[in-house]
Chain A
Amino acid sequence: MSDPMKWFDGRIPLRELSAFLRRKIVPGHGQMFWYLFGGLTLLFICIQLVTGILLSLYYQPTPETAFESVARITNNVNFGWLIRGIHRWSAHLVVFCVLVHMASKYFFVAYRKPREATWISGMMLLGIVVGFAFTGYLLPWTKEGYFATQIGIEIPGSMPLVGGFIARFLRGGEYVDGVTLTRVFSLHAVILPLISLAIILFHLIQNQYTGSALPKGRRPGREIPFLPDFLYRDTLAWIVGIMVLLTCSLIFPIETGLKADTLASPPEGIRPEWYFIPLYQTIKWLPAYILGLNTEIFINAGVGCLVMALFLLPWIHRTREEIFSGTDRTFRIIGIAGLLYFIVTVVYSWLVP
């Protein structure tokens, strides 16, 4: 057979698919570096999927066996310690890449028409990635994971009206126990992956259709075809990403830790993962009560407003630009302030435990 594609003609629309993929153009300019973080996020999500499937071959989600099964993976399974280390470090890198990708799109003003749906699906993916991180923390059934989950569920639990329902739904009762572990495992290994795969597919198709956005204020110039030119750049970024991942996993392997004791009191100095630090540090800095109301209510309201504002950003921006005739710099200033607050809280929390 001279052309293997001929067999597919009339059976599977491979030629049409290939033509659709080859249509993608990436704008060429000095800030192309930031385009690489989308591909890197996809790479680390794929690594999470593969290592997660491997870990699920041995993991047992019950309070009696979860810790022991993770210890078995680390100590008795060939390269189990490495697979577990890659899964954990890759989770950190997914969150990092998603945050950088989102920040770059924010400063490029890439959420404007016609990319509103891409931005919203990206926001949903950010929420899912945070959900993955939160649910994954309890699975090894360690002391830190147990109490961090307990505290983590209390924050949405303090929301008025729906808070109690959310907390009970996540815990499967009044306390973090075996039911919580099964529920969290189901979310982490089945529900969130299925939802995320659907949203990732939608995000990629949207991106393929609308193309990558130019940074705000730049005029269209040189264009680079995605296949194969930009894919070479993406592949180089993936190689660097894998180098970073392997370096972290091999030099700083993940220890088994101590098994959770549900009757013990929370250990001193327990802290959430770095991406939850801005929220955690804000709660620490604020007094317990503001105007006679529990601070957690204000925190919940603040987070709710922030999430809502980010979802509605394409339309909020358009309205402001109409009012200020395109000379408005408010969003850039808010973005820089938010980024600085994130970095300052993480560094402060690291320096002053």
Chain B
Amino acid sequence: MAGTMTGMLLNAFQEGGAVGGIPDIGVRLSIWFIAMFMLAVGGAMIYLRMRELEKDPHSYDSKQD
């Protein structure tokens, strides 16, 4: 898994692999769904932390735990 990810990152924006230009709408929608899901999860976590901080302003100070 890590090897595949590293390979993908190293090959990103390199010439040769991609042919045929802009992918069709199905491929683009798949990328869109994955990106939106990840961003929504990240956004929800930040929102929850923000609300937690509003209720207890010192909760970010780990020394108090």
Contacts and interface: CB of A to CB of B under 8 A. Distances in A.
Interface of A: 54, 57-58, 72, 74-83, 228-229, 232-233, 235-236, 239-240, 242-243, 246-247, 250-251, 253, 255-256
Contact of A54 (B13, B46, B49): B13
Interface of B: 11-23, 28-29, 31-32, 35-36, 39, 42-43, 46-47, 49-50, 53-54, 60
Given A77-B15, A78-B13, A246-B35, A232 B53 contact: yes
Interface centre among B23, B28, B29, B47 (most CB of A within 10 A): B28
B15 A72 contact: yes
Contact of B28 (A83, A239, A251, A256): A251
A233 B16 CA distance: 41
A80 B36 contact: no
The 8 closest A-B pairs by CB, nearest first: A232-B50, A75-B21, A239-B43, A81-B22, A250-B32, A250-B28, A253-B22, A78-B18
B13 A57 contact: yes
Given A250-B28, A251-B28, A243 B39 contact: yes
Contact of A246 (B18, B20, B21, B36): B36
B60 to A, nearest CB: 6
Contacts of B32: 246-247, 250-251
Contact of A74 (B13, B22, B42): B22
Contacts of A253: 22, 28
B3 to A, nearest CB: 17
Given A75-B21, A78-B11, A79-B13, A236 B50 contact: yes
Interface centre among A57, A72, A250 (most CB of B within 10 A): A250
A80 B18 contact: yes
Contacts of A250: 28-29, 31-32, 35
Contacts of B22: 74, 81, 253, 255
A58 B13 CA distance: 10
B13 A77 contact: yes
A74 B15 CA distance: 11
B54 to A, nearest CB: 8
A203 B45 CA distance: 31
Given A79-B18, A239-B43, A253-B22, 4 more contacts: A74-B22, A83-B13, A246-B32, A246-B35
